[in-house]
Structure 1
Amino acid sequence: MKIKNLKRQKLRNNEYYNMQIVFDELYEKSKKGKIFKNELYELIIDPHNIELAFRNIKNNTGSQTKGTDGKTIKNLISKTNEEVINLVKGKLNNFQPQKVRRVEIPKPNGKTRALGIPTISDRLVQQCILQILEPICEAKFYEHSYGFRPTRGVKNALARAYTLANISKCHHVVDIDIEGFFDNINHGKLLKQIWTLGIRDKRVISIISKMLKAEIEGIGKPNKGTPQGGILSPLLANIVLNEFDHWINTQWLDFPTIHEYANSSNRHRYLRRTNLKEMFLVRYADDFKIFCKSNSDAVKIYNATKMWLKERLNLNISQEKSKIVNLKNNYSDFLGIKFKVHSKGTDKENKKYVVKSFVSDKAHTHILKTLDEKLKCIEHSSQKDTLKAISNYNAYLIGLHDYYNGATHCSVNFAKLAYSILPRIKKFKIKKKINLDALSNFIRERYGKSKQLINVCGTYLVPISYIEYKTVLNHSQNSIYTKEGREKFHEQQKAVKTENIVYLIKNPITQRSMEYNDNRISKYVAQYGKCYVTKRLLSVKEMHCHHITPTHLNGNDHYNNLVIVNEDIHRLIHASTEETILQYLNVLQLNKNDLERLNNLRIKANMKEICL
């Protein structure tokens, strides 16, 4: 799922569980400087917040990862709503985090990155806390930090960097690399920063403190750092560096002036006559750059930043990786993309410069290696596994295209990749004829015009070099925690009445699992509140949620195994006696198409077809 779609889905989830209004109020109050002393804990344990947290982590790929207790989301989905709510409340009442599982994952440079995986129940607790704290923090966060924040992403960070180089003519960049940022976060300092943001519910701060000190399996209790892999970790990382963001901002953009200026242009014109150094920060998580106008300014900013990070946050920078870059002469790497400025036009006195960007050298090497490995998997896979291997290869390549189309010269890089990988592709038995009808709708729409599609074993490899630059856009600075801001990203669902969804949330089927009740809401909206068989609008009190494959035939509560039907239709699906069948047929007056849909459900429920 694309990031944009995923974020929109989270907004939809907020609507389903009637929590958006709560988040909006928290954001507005935080924006006005409110101090939150006692109410946050009660919001965290609110049943609707817990149900929303379950929905948000349920389909997350990380939910299938085991913690130290060996459990995954599968161990939670069978529990009822009440059982899950009581589980979270019980854990938070006297919170003691379980041990964190340490996992080493390879990095492109051959080294490894340590991840800390909490247990699934602790992740659910973290999600509950995240949902309440995020709107409060969003109101206080710096406008040009883009990592792990709602509606923001890599493309917005790149757009800001390009704008500063192209428009603001900031061609000197301070590249700072913090040594082991996540492993060296000071716990005491972080808790004070949380307090400073107005989060002063001592029960919540106590829980976060215990989370930070959760024992890591095989290592022990940490005295610093926050494990990458925890749901709350990205928010905590942004809280740590938010102080730095605002410090940089007050050195220029928000520097206080005695006179009130009508617009920022006049203000900046005045500031340029002072000894202040013009600087602009762009940050994505712990990867950030400071743009400035001259090398002398860059040197001073580099030294000041190094000193500030050490003195205020007790963080060291990597002398080897941190540097000053003149974009007219050298490339600067940012989020897997390298960029510099090139002169444009023939006017030597008033030279204009424009950004040119490419896939970074490190990323290029890693992509080439990964593509080669995935093609090897296709080459050596058995006949039954070939389609899966091709699907895996295509998904990876589509993801690359979606990410790296933010580089202005991405087509050049991917043409080189295609040429380098060509010997590997030539080993396949390639069919030259392309049947567009055999392509999936997505592949046909996106790659159907390409002459580089390759038919392997009756399916198609996505062409490596079929990519073009897509203009990256600056973030609008609208917030999803305001109605006006939300409308820019997301349209409120109008498929069914909001009060009907609220009714379903407040009236779950108590003997059924939380997964069932959650998917029941999704199906009701997806079917526009209509019966699957008759296509007639249903009131919530007459709707039933039917298992396509019944539970006694090993059916589950997954979304694809559920369908919303009229109460009488549901009885008719399971009816076995001729008398009962005739009774409901007389009441329902089904047409030919209705009967066909009904019989499909009866057959899958191991019931006989109804013949008229």
Structure 2
Amino acid sequence: MFNDLMSKIISEANILLAYRNIKRNTGSNTKGTDGKTIASLARLEPKDLIALVRRKLGNYQPQKVRRVEIPKPDGKTRPLGIPTISDRLVQQCILQVMEPICEAKFYKHSYGFRPLRGTKHAIARAYFLAQRANLHYAVDVDIKGFFDNIDHGKLLKQIWTLGIRDKSLLTVISKLLKAEIEGIGIPTKGTPQGGIISPLLANIALNEYDHWIKSQWEEMKTEHQYYQSVRKNGTITNGERIRALKKTKLKEVYIVRYADDFKLFCRNHSDAVKIFEATKKWLKERLKLEISPEKSKIVNLRKNYSDFLGIKLKVAKKRKDRHNKDKFVVQSHVGNKAFQTIVTTIRRQAKKLQKPKDNNGAKAVNAFNSYILGIHNYYSCATNCNLDFAKIAFVTRSTLKNRLPLRKKKETDKIPKYMEKSYENSKQLRFLYDTPILPIGYIQHQKQMNFSQKSTYIAKDRKEIHQSQKAVSTSELRYLVENPIQGQSAEYNDNRVSLFVGQYGKCYVTGKPLNINEMHCHHKKPRALGGTDEYKNLVLIEENIHRLVHSTKIETIKEYVTKLGLSTKELEKVNKLRKQANLQEICF
């Protein structure tokens, strides 16, 4: 049981890590009701940032939440609740302490908003159950306004059941849930989409349902005897136990969940009907949640498609297996709604390409390429993505052709590195404003792998995950984190740590390993000239190199040039830094 988590939440290391995590979030520049962004926190010294969080949590009273309506592809809107930046920092501090505890208790096939997991893992699991496990009846369940209808009292009890027994923390979470929404009032239920801790709370709310479904089949004990064999890696096989369970009258069912979007896979229609009815009753009685009758249904995957995370899937007969039984394989496409959204977006982007902002054609093409690359990457998991994108290319071709002066590739044209591997050989590649524009229809299916079930919170797994990322000494990194430069901002100190990793602990000029005690963090554009503590304006160099960069006296410059024995290339880097600082280049 965890009875004292607040001491960890308000610890110096946790608060500074929380700042580091929310800073790199694009939403950190979104204003709350107080009009402040991450910039207001970046200016604070680390000690002041720590004091701010501790003061807020001393007697926590969340500020009003700003409500924003985000348009959805179907024309409707999704309400987002944007807390103030200081409340987001508090939520991040809580998340970092709660998440490892919850991760240990969460169901292994829940994939939404969890470390290392994503939509493709959920889709891969759905493919596995439909194709390899031959579960051809899918129960599609849509919960009415899930995030807006989470019961506060029930949620707090679920957190308690997970072992989080710190009453001070539970009080803070209760206050977070009841934070006043601007223009709406104090909510009596629900957790606002937009809060940093909201996805974790949503997973906690549905975790009980995950385990209930799991208990109906996967964890059910049987009196039938079976043998268990051990794999080479020490894990126990599950096949014999499942075969023993199939001898019983139990209803075979598996769940795949991504946040509030989930599917139940069953062996036959009769089981699917019973599980569907049981689910409706369980969600209503235990979680006080209603399902949408219009959107919830049972689908026979041999006859119809079932939508899941923007993909529509079914199974089709392929051949007979070795037992002379019909073998089915998954066939999937881009979902109908997603298809229309892509077409609409491409046509809208074509208008922007026709009249680029600030007449910067190359920038507009790169923005278009970024979108195409994103949808290619996501929908490559659909087995028939090539057919779908060929159709999308055909439907949008007239728009692009009529609006844009596209031309074919010339021998002198250069292709950016990120395009070379996947697109260089495409005959569909065209150029606009002398910049290559990605071919919409040039895509291949990428086979999806099931999630390995590794966790960032298990030492053995973490070591394996990061074994290829050993760029710098852990002890040196820890020293930098625990010993910030006094008098400098939180942003400066955080970027100092990032630069040390980014430069592999080496000097920008000489490339030699940096001595922590003799390392200087240099502003490329000095503060006196309007420079900031942003990552792109900082660089780590040796102390003597730093002195040379800022030297103005001829004698001092000669002394350091002789002392350091810099090569021509190294001197060029020094001169580059001097030029950025409006200082005369060294010419001898």
Q: TM-score range by the shorter chain?
A: over 0.9
Look up the match of 2:309. 335
Q: Is 1:62 aligned to 2:27, yes or no?
A: yes
Whether the 8 Å contact between 1:165 and 1:341 is mirrored in structure 2 is yes
2:453 is equivalent to residue 446 of structure 1: no
Listed one character per residue, the Cα deviations across residues 85-124 of structure 1 (whole Å, up to 9, x for unaligned) are: 1111111111111111111111111111101111111111
- Is 1:367 paired with 2:333? no
Contact 2:65 2:179 in 1 (8 A): yes
Note if contact 1:434-1:455 (Cα within 8 Å) is conserved in structure 2: no
Q: 1:304-383 to 2 correspondence within 5 Å? A: 304-345=278-319, 350-382=325-357
Q: Check 1:88–1:379 CA distance in 2 against 1; reply closer, same or farther (3 A cut).
A: same
Q: Is the 8 A contact 2:137 2:265 kept in 1?
A: yes
**Are residues 1:564 and 2:540 paired?**
yes
Report whether the alignment pairs 1:498 with 2:474.
Answer: yes
Q: Does 1:243 align with 2:219?
A: no
Query: What is the identity, as a one-letter code, of the residue corresponding to 2:10?
Result: I
Report the Cα offset of residue 41 of structure 1. 0.6
Deviations 1:69-92 (A, max 9, x none): 111112211211111111111111
Name the amino acid aligned to 2:348.
E
Matched residue, 2:508:
532
Aligned length: 577
Shift of 1:261: 4.4
- The question of 1:53 aligning with 2:28 is answered no
TM-score, length basis structure 1: 0.92
Q: Does structure 1 residue 112 correspond to structure 2 residue 77?
A: yes
Residues 1:257 and 2:222 aligned together = yes
Q: Using structure 2 for the length normalisation, give the TM-score.
A: 0.95
What is the CA–CA distance in structure 2 between the aligned matches of 1:77 and 1:382, rounded to whole Å? 31
Superposed displacement of residue 535, structure 1 = 2.4
| Conserved? CA contact 1:436–1:444, under 8 Å | no
Aligned to 1:6: none
Paired residue type of 1:415: A
Alignment of 1:139 with 2:114, yes or no, is: no
Cα distance in 2 for residues equivalent to 1:98 and 1:435: 60
Deviations 1:50-74 (A, max 9, x none): 1111111112111111111111112
Q: Does 2:202 match 1:228?
A: no
| Mapped pair 1:408 → 2:367 | no
Secondary structure, aligned partner of 1:168: coil
- Kindly indicate whether residue 585 of structure 2 is the aligned counterpart of residue 603 of structure 1: no
Task: Note the C-alpha offset of 1:435.
Answer: 5.2
**What residue number does 1:37 align with?**
3
Q: Residues 116, 144 of structure 1: CA spacing in aligned structure 2 closer, same or farther, 3 A cutoff?
A: same
Structure 1 residues without counterparts, runs of 5 or longer:
1-34
Identify the residue that residue 468 of structure 1 maps to in structure 2: 444
Q: 1:172 aligns with which of 115, 119, 137?
A: 137
Structure 1 CA distance for aligned equivalents of residues 18 and 212 of structure 2: 34
Find the partner of 1:299 among 256, 263, 273. Answer: 273
1:550 maps to what in 2? 526
Tell whether the 8 Å contact from 1:212 to 1:226 is kept in structure 2 after alignment.
Answer: yes
Compared CA separation, residues 272 and 530, structure 1 to 2 (3 A): closer
CA separation in 2, counterparts of 1:484 and 1:346? 43
Q: CA deviation at 1:388?
A: 2.8
1:162 correspondence with 2:127: yes
Does 2:157 align with 1:192? yes
Q: 1:260 to 1:499 in 2, by over 3 A?
A: farther
> CA distance change for structure 1 residues 606 and 380 in 2, over 3 Å: closer, same or farther?
closer
Percent of residue pairs bearing the same amino acid type: 56
The answer on whether the counterparts of 1:79 and 1:514 sit within 8 Å (CA) in structure 2 is yes
Shift of 1:460: 1.9
CA drift at 1:549: 0.9
Local SS of the residue matching 2:541: strand
Give the 3-state SS of the residue equivalent to 2:576 in structure 1: helix
RMSD: 1.6
TM-aligned CA deviation for residue 322 of structure 1: 0.3
2:516 match: secondary structure: coil
1:267 aligned to 2:232? Answer: no
Q: Distance in 1 between matches of 2:102 and 2:143?
A: 23
1:377-392 map, 5 Å: 377-382=352-357, 384-392=359-367
Partner of 1:433: 409
Q: Take 2:16 and 2:112, find their aligned partners in 1: how far apart are those partners?
A: 26
SS at match of 2:517: coil
Rounded Cα–Cα distance in structure 1 between residues aligned with 2:71 and 2:279: 30
- Equivalent in the alignment of 2:235: none
Name which of structure 1's ranges 370-379 and 233-242 shifts more when overlaid on structure 2. Answer: 370-379
| Offset, 1:459 | 1.1
My pick for the range that moved more, 463-472 or 474-483, is 474-483
**1:26 aligned residue:** none
Give yes or no for contact 2:550–2:578 (8 Å, CA) kept in 1: yes
Structure 2 SS opposite 1:570: helix
Show CA shifts across 1:8-49 (max 9, x none).
Answer: xxxxxxxxxxxxxxxxxxxxxxxxxxx0011x1111111111
CA distance in 2 between partners of 1:419 and 1:367 (Å): 13
In 2: Cα distance, 1:589 partner to 1:273 partner? 80
**Correspondence for 1:393:** 368
SS of 1:478's equivalent? coil
Q: Does 1:522 find its partner at 2:498? A: yes
Aligned to 1:421: 396
